[in-house]
Amino acid sequence: MEKPRILFVDDDQEILASYTRALRKRYDVAVAAGPQVGLDMLGAGLEVAVVVSDLRMPGMDGVEFLGRVREARPDVVRMLLTGFADIAVAMAAVNKSKIFSFLTKPCPVEELEEALAAGLRQYQLQAAEKELLRGTVRGTIKLLTNLLEMVSPEAFGKSSRVKRLVMELGTYLGMEDLWRLELAAMLSQIGCAALPAETLRKAYRGEPLPGDKAYEFAMHPKIAADLVSNIPRLREVAEIIGYQEKRFDGGGLPPDGAKGERIPLGARILKVALDFDTLEAHYQYRRSSGNPVSESLSRMRDREGWYDPHVLDALESLAEVPDGYKPRLALARELAPGMLLDQDVTDLKGELVLGRGLELNALSIRRLFDLGALSGGKARWRVLVPPAERLAFARMLDG
């Protein structure tokens, strides 16, 4: 079994050597001769469970050091070693820097080992809780998206198309924590689940809606944001969803006065992607003689103040770059997760089952297989096949 790693930080090399001698049989002991060395080691990727720091060190005391450790590695358990005269300072540090515990010097080995054991239990408890939460969040999101796919193919198709575009934009713009943007796109349309299919078809093609339907559609970002805000750790995702229709100049919903960079970057990206998808569908539906992509970009440029200029510039750049997908007619048994559906699929009544642009997964492939069986299993579906490495990655995620 791999031994847990403890990092000791002190400006006295002899003290560090004594920790190594006393604890190396039970722990993987790492040492840093001073706070800056310790920060550099953590910054370089050193994985540790517990950091034990001396209080009195030149250049940076232990309280400041452990505070910076907390900012960089919030999951690491932090302990402070201090002389008897500094107990008041150490107690204040427990509240200020959220230090797990402090020990007085000189500290007997038995007492140190007992404190380290308690710190490791805390670290393992936090890790287990985090993994449980991650699994719960992942399962909740999968449940919501699967339900949306079954209840409203129109809304699911929209979120699936937009998800790919926002990820490309987010990557292009160097956005951090792209997973939040991806989740926001995936869940952005769940507020539309109860809206009639015809209402969504019109809205997603940019056609005018009657007054009551227009109001219901306008409220869907707030409904979705309220739903997502109930999922632990997704407050920022809910905020992106809530601002998805907010214009860069402050117009649109919610009417709270936020504008420009006060609007979350993820929401600014999502707004551009949603409107581009709607305009492209509008020009395709109208069978315009021009290029739907070019016409959509031109229309968006004419909407002064609607979009973050940097995001719109990124969209124009990406629109000119082929993404490596190849068109193909495929039997149901040839379909694979990660392929994109290049047609609308309807049932025998003419109702939309799966929308064009949908990224296929096990559930949607099963539905296409069942639909194909009605025609003797000979039906072929128009799909776009991604590069091999992306297809393999999609298969892994869907598995």
| Sequence spans of domains, the chain | 5-129, 152-321, 324-399
In the chain, what percentage of residues exceed pLDDT 70? 90
Please give the residue that has the higher pLDDT: either 164 or 357: 164
For residues 7 and 318, the model is more confident at: 7
pLDDT of residue 322: 45
CATH code for 152-321? 1.10.3210.10
Residue 6 near residue 23 (C-beta atoms within 8 A): yes
| Amino acid residing at 260 | G
Q: Which fold has domain 5-129?
A: Rossmann fold (3.40.50)
Q: At 18, is the secondary structure helix, strand, or coil?
A: helix
Q: What's the pTM?
A: 0.61
β-sheet bridge partners, residue 331: 380
- Taking all residues of the chain, what is their mean pLDDT, rounded to a whole number? 85
The DSSP bridge partners found for residue 50 are 6, 77
CA dihedral sign of residues 313, 248, 188, 235: positive
Report the range of poorest mean pLDDT among 42-51, 355-364, 379-388: 379-388
Question: pLDDT confidence of 273, banded at 50, 70, 90?
Answer: very high
The least confident of 11-20, 37-46, 78-87, 136-145 is 78-87
Q: What is the DSSP letter of 52?
A: E
pLDDT at 359: 86
Q: What is the pLDDT of residue 133?
A: 65
Can you tell me which residue has the tokens 């990660």?
A: 338
Least confident among 252-256, 316-320, 330-334, 342-346: 316-320
Cα 141 to chain centroid distance, Å, stands at: 11
Q: Is the pLDDT of residue 231 over 90?
A: no
Q: Would strands 28-32 and 352-354 be described as parallel, antiparallel, or unpaired?
A: unpaired
Q: Is the confidence at residue 149, as pLDDT, over 50?
A: yes
Above 70 in pLDDT, residue 91?
A: no
Phi, psi of 100 (to 5 degrees): -65, -45
Give the mean model confidence (pLDDT) for residues 201-212.
91
